[in-house]
Amino acid sequence: MHVQVIGVPIDLGANRRGVDMGPSAMRYAGLHTALAHLGHTVTDAGNLVVPDPEASDPGDPRARYLPQIVAVCQELRELVAGAAGAGSFPLVLGGDHSLSVGTVSGIRRVFPNTGVIWLDAHGDFNTPETTPSGNVHGMSLAAVLGIGAAELVACMEGRALRPEQAVIIGVRDLDPGERELLRRSGVRVFTMQEVDRHGLPSVMEQAIALLRRHVDSIHLSLDLDVFEPDLAPGVGTPKPGGLTYREGHLAMEMIAEQGNLVSMELVEVNPILDEANRTAQLAVDMARSALGARVL
């Protein structure tokens, strides 16, 4: 297929600098060549222009840099919708996880019945009322479901997901208010405890079966902090006890087998904190598996 790469060097949603260099790090790790070797045609649309935090007013401390983030998400929405509408597969490189509002909104404009698999150590389900940090990258999934800051929710253009159209896998770190909001939301959350107890294959089978009943296509949002920090050191908010290398590949392979993946994003790669670009290389490896790489 034709893969359209879109870089979003945004770190306005996080509290540590560096994820703005994530798109370049993944390109440097050989993303284009890796996907071309699978038989895909790859076009790179370059990077969106994102304002620097130093030159921007953070505004409301409960949702820092919110107007700037909304503007980036609106532009990304148009690029993703344009790529998907032209028959391409949008592959978005981040950047912090706040960009997901733009990706999901754009793909749902073209494929309205798209659900989300959210692989992340965190729930990203805060709102300005529950957040302990004011970091918008911790509010993105809530906004995708129509919960939270009105300006961010408006980016969804009335196409917010229903709770049964999203699953979160790999969670092991939730804020108190976020935890309660998730419990009330109806979103299915597969914590690392469930991965440990039942195994990653069982968790993926359950997640995919749940979504299959409610959606026609899938968007995959992969935050690299879902992995064990020893495997992915280059992330801003590492949390011990994450997925292993093989569990990551298996998750990607099981998603690819469904044949209905229509978009993907790789987020929170921070080269400043990385070791020899290992985390960016891991992201490229996961993209290969999600887009069809097989051992045999």
The DSSP bridge partners found for residue 92 are: 6, 265
State how far the alpha carbon of 157 is from the alpha carbons of 128, 161, 260, in Å: 20, 11, 23
Residue type at 116 in one-letter notation: V
d(CA 116, CA 183): 18
Exposure b/e, 225-234, CB count within 10 A at least 16 = b: bbbbbeebbb
The one-character DSSP state at 43 is E
As a whole number of angstroms, the distance between CA 177 and CA 3 comes to: 38
Catalytic residues: 97, 120, 122, 124, 137, 223, 225, 268
Nearest to 3, CA basis, from 47, 34, 26, 48:
34
